Chain A
Amino acid sequence: MNLLVCISKTPDTTARIAFKDDFTKFDEGGVQFIMNPFDEFYSLVRAIELKEKFGGTVTVLNVGEPANDIVIRKALAIGADKAVRINTSPTSAFAVAKQIAEYAKDKSFDIIFFGKETIDYNGGEVSGMVAAMLDLPFVNLASHLEVDGTTAKLNRDIEGGVEKVEVEMPFIVSTAKGMAEQRIPNMRGIMMAKRKPLEVVEPVDKEDRVEILKYELPKAKSGVKLVDPDNIDELVRLLHEEAKVI
C-alpha cells in the first residue's frame, strides 16, 4: 500500500499562548513545538499498522519551514519510511491544501491521512479541501479503519452514534480518537530515522483565502467563589439566583 500521512507542527499542548505586535502575531518565544497530536497518535500510527499488515510505504508530508525537520524526524522514528517537506510557511488552510494536492496528484497514493484538526488553528478543513481538489472520496472524523482488498471499511463518530461506511481506494480520511494508540519511538527507531530520506520540495504558487487580523485572549474569570462543603444549599442558591443556570 502506498500511504501518505500529512502532519502539522503545533505548539505543545502545555504551551502558554501569547501574542505580539499588538495582538496581530502569535508569539513563538519559549514555545515548544510538537507534531499535531491527531496526526501523530491516530493517522501516523494507523498508517504504520496497515503497512505492517499489508506491506508498502508510509510517506509523511509536512508543509513548512526547515525548523520543522525535527518534528518530521520524529514521524520517521515512529515508523514512517520517508518524508517530504514542502518548503513554504503554512499561512492558511487553503494555502496548505493547495501544496499537498499539487504534490499528491500524480503519486498514486491509496490512502491520504489527515488528523481531524490541528490543535492550533482548529480548522479541520485541509482534508476536505484536498479531497475536493483531487476529486477523491472523503471520510472525515473516522475512529476506525480496516482494509479488505481494494475496499476500506470505516467508522465515523456522529452525534448520537457511529456511522459505518465503505469506500474504494484511493480516498482521503481524517482521523479521530479510537483510530489507533500512541506509539513512543524507541532508540532503534530514532537511530534509523536519521538515515531515512527527507526530500525538500519547492512550493507551487501560494494562495491564501483568509487573513488573520488580530487575536484576543479569553476574559479571565473574576475569581472562584468557594462554598463550604457543609453548606451545599448555598451552592444551589448561587447557581439558581446568581448564575441562573438551574
Chain B
Amino acid sequence: MKILVYIDNRKNKIKKTDQELVYYAHLIAQKHGGSVDAFVLGSGEGAEVLGKYGADNVYAVAHDETFDANGISSAVKNFAEDKGADLVIVPFNSSGKPLVGMLSYMLDASSVTGVLNVPEVEESKLVFKKGVFSGKAFAYIKTLKDKVVVSLMTNSFSPEEVGSEVNVEAVNIPVDNKVKVVGIDKVEGKVPLPEAERIVSGGRGMKGPENWGVLLDLAKALDAETACSRPVADVGWRPHSEHVGQTGIVVRPNLYVALGISGAIQHLAGVSSSKVIVVINKDPEAPFFKAADYGVVGDLFEVAPKLTEAINKFKGK
C-alpha cells in the first residue's frame, strides 16, 4: 500500500501533530505492508525529522501562504496520482478538514473523517473506527473504493521514533487557487484546544468573567489551556473559540478539569474522550460526577485555589 501524508508546514515548524500523522501512516504500513511519503506544504524546513517517525520520502511544495483549500486539494490530488497513492492521510484540523470531501471526489476515493485506529482489512478493504453522535458512540466504517482519504483525529497516537532523518526533496506542482487569502489574525502562544494535553474549563458556576482569575491560576499551574461551557461563551464571559461540547469544539486531552460545569449531555459529548476527568462542583448530584474519574464536592472558589497551591507545591514552585 502506498500511503501519502499531507503536512501543513506553512509556518515552517514541524509540530507534534505532524509527527503523529507520519507515525500513524508508519503503523499502517507496518501492519499491512507499504511505504510512506510525506507531502509537505511549505518550505520543508525542519521536515527531515519526519523520517524519524516513519516517512520513507519527504517532498516539499514551494511555500505560499495564500494557498486555500481548493489550491491545496488540487496539489495533493496531482501529487497523489503521480505517486500512485492508495491511502491519503490529512490532519483533522482547519487545514485538513476541507480536503477530505474534495479529495474523495477528485480521487474517486472513499473517505472517513476523524479516524481513531490503525485499520483492519476486511475483504481487502480498510475498516476505520471513528467517533459518531458527537462523542456518544463509535462506528466501524468499511471503505468500499480502492483509494481512500482519511483525516486522523488529533491526539490518537503518541509519535515514537522509528527511523532516521531523510532528505527533503523540493517539488513543483501546479495549483489552482479559487479563494484569496487576504490575511491572518494570529492569536499568539495558545495551543489549539483539539491539540491540548491539559485543559481547565469553566461553566456558569464561575458566576462571572471577573472570577476567571482562579481558573487561569489553576491552568497556569497545570500548564493547561482554558475552555468553557456553551452558556459561558454565549453570554460573552469567554470567547467563542473556548466553547467545547457537541456544538463547540470536541477535545480529548489527557486531563480535563471542570469548574462549575453541570455536565449536561451536550457538554459531555465534546469532552468524554478525555483520558482523565476531574470535576469540581458544589452539587453532589451534578451529572458530571458520573462521567468523572476524580471529583471534589465543594465550592470551586475555595477548592480551585487550594488545588493550584497544592500543584505548585508538588512541582516545587
Asked if residues A232 and B145 are in contact (CB atoms below 8 Å), the reply is no
Per-residue interface assignment for chain B, residues 253 to 284, with 1 indicating a CB less than 8 Å from any chain A CB and 0 otherwise: 01100000000011001001101111100000
Given the known A-B contacts A120-B133, A236-B314, A239-B276, are A162 and B102 also in contact in the complex, defined by CB atoms under 8 Å?
Answer: no
Chain A interface size range? 35 or more
CA distance A158 to B101 in the complex (A): 18
CA distance A156 to B192 in the complex (A): 14
Given the known A-B contacts A178-B240, A229-B306, are A167 and B178 also in contact in the complex, defined by CB atoms under 8 Å?
Answer: yes
Given the known A-B contacts A38-B247, A132-B73, are A122 and B131 also in contact in the complex, defined by CB atoms under 8 Å?
Answer: yes
CA distance A217 to B272 in the complex (A): 12
Of A19, A163, A171, the most chain B CB neighbours within 10 A belong to: A163
Residue B186 at the chain A interface, CB threshold 8 Å: yes
Asked if residues A128 and B307 are in contact (CB atoms below 8 Å), the reply is no
CB-CB under 8 A from B110, the residues of chain A are 94, 209-210
CB-CB under 8 A from A55, the residues of chain B are none
CB-CB under 8 A from B307, the residues of chain A are 232, 235-236
Residue B235 at the chain A interface, CB threshold 8 Å: no
Q: From residue A179, how far is it (CB to closest CB) to chain B in Å?
A: 10
CB-CB under 8 A from A130, the residues of chain B are 101
Partner of B137, one of A94, A123, A141, A215: A215
Within 8 A of B (CB), among A119-171: 119-133, 136-141, 143, 153, 156-167, 171
Given the known A-B contacts A137-B179, A209-B145, A226-B295, are A163 and B184 also in contact in the complex, defined by CB atoms under 8 Å?
Answer: yes
Within 8 A of A (CB), among B125-142: 127, 129-142
CB-CB under 8 A from A226, the residues of chain B are 289, 294-297
CA distance A212 to B250 in the complex (A): 22
Given the known A-B contacts A119-B134, A125-B101, A221-B292, are A245 and B276 also in contact in the complex, defined by CB atoms under 8 Å?
Answer: yes
Asked if residues B278 and A239 are in contact (CB atoms below 8 Å), the reply is yes
CB-CB under 8 A from B250, the residues of chain A are 122
Partner of B289, one of A38, A127, A224, A233: A224
Given the known A-B contacts A119-B133, A129-B102, A137-B178, are A245 and B144 also in contact in the complex, defined by CB atoms under 8 Å?
Answer: no
Residue A246 at the chain B interface, CB threshold 8 Å: yes
Residue A37 at the chain B interface, CB threshold 8 Å: yes
Asked if residues A221 and B293 are in contact (CB atoms below 8 Å), the reply is yes
Within 8 A of A (CB), among B41-77: 68-70, 73
Per-residue interface assignment for chain B, residues 91 to 106, with 1 indicating a CB less than 8 Å from any chain A CB and 0 otherwise: 0011101111111111
CB-CB under 8 A from B106, the residues of chain A are 132
CB-CB under 8 A from B306, the residues of chain A are 229, 232
Of A120, A132, A143, the most chain B CB neighbours within 10 A belong to: A132
Residue A89 at the chain B interface, CB threshold 8 Å: no
Asked if residues A133 and B105 are in contact (CB atoms below 8 Å), the reply is yes
Partner of A140, one of B69, B112, B142: B69
Asked if residues A124 and B113 are in contact (CB atoms below 8 Å), the reply is yes
Looking at chain A's contact residues, the main secondary structure is mixed
CB-CB under 8 A from A129, the residues of chain B are 101-102, 104-105
Q: From residue A114, how far is it (CB to closest CB) to chain B in Å?
A: 10
Residue A213 at the chain B interface, CB threshold 8 Å: yes
CB-CB under 8 A from B104, the residues of chain A are 93-94, 125, 128-129, 132, 209
Asked if residues A159 and B192 are in contact (CB atoms below 8 Å), the reply is yes
Looking at chain B's contact residues, the main secondary structure is mixed
Residue B111 at the chain A interface, CB threshold 8 Å: yes
Asked if residues B99 and A128 are in contact (CB atoms below 8 Å), the reply is yes
CA distance A138 to B105 in the complex (A): 14
Binds B, one of A10-18, A43-51, A79-87, A184-192: A10-18
Q: From residue A93, how far is it (CB to closest CB) to chain B in Å?
A: 7
CB-CB under 8 A from A67, the residues of chain B are none
Quick one: closest B residue to A143, CB to CB? B240
Asked if residues A210 and B111 are in contact (CB atoms below 8 Å), the reply is yes
CB-CB under 8 A from A232, the residues of chain B are 296, 303, 306-307, 309-310
Q: From residue B190, how far is it (CB to closest CB) to chain A in Å?
A: 6
CA distance A11 to B137 in the complex (A): 13
Residue B246 at the chain A interface, CB threshold 8 Å: yes
Partner of A208, one of B114, B137, B144, B269: B144
Residue B167 at the chain A interface, CB threshold 8 Å: no
Asked if residues A246 and B222 are in contact (CB atoms below 8 Å), the reply is yes
8 shortest interchain CB distances as A-B pairs: A128-B101, A229-B298, A125-B101, A137-B178, A159-B192, A132-B105, A140-B98, A129-B101
Given contacts A161-B184, A163-B181, A226-B296, 11 further A-B pairs with CB under 8 A are A13-B265, A129-B102, A132-B103, A139-B179, A163-B94, A167-B180, A210-B141, A210-B142, A224-B293, A233-B310, A238-B294
Question: Can you list 5 contacts pairing A with B, beta carbon distance less than 8 Å?
Answer: A122-B131, A125-B101, A140-B69, A141-B98, A215-B139
- Interface residues of chain A, those whose CB is within 8 Å of chain B, are 11, 13-14, 17, 19, 37-38, 41, 93-94, 97, 119-133, 136-141, 143, 153, 156-167, 171, 174, 177-178, 208-218, 221, 224-229, 232-233, 235-236, 238-240, 243, 245-246
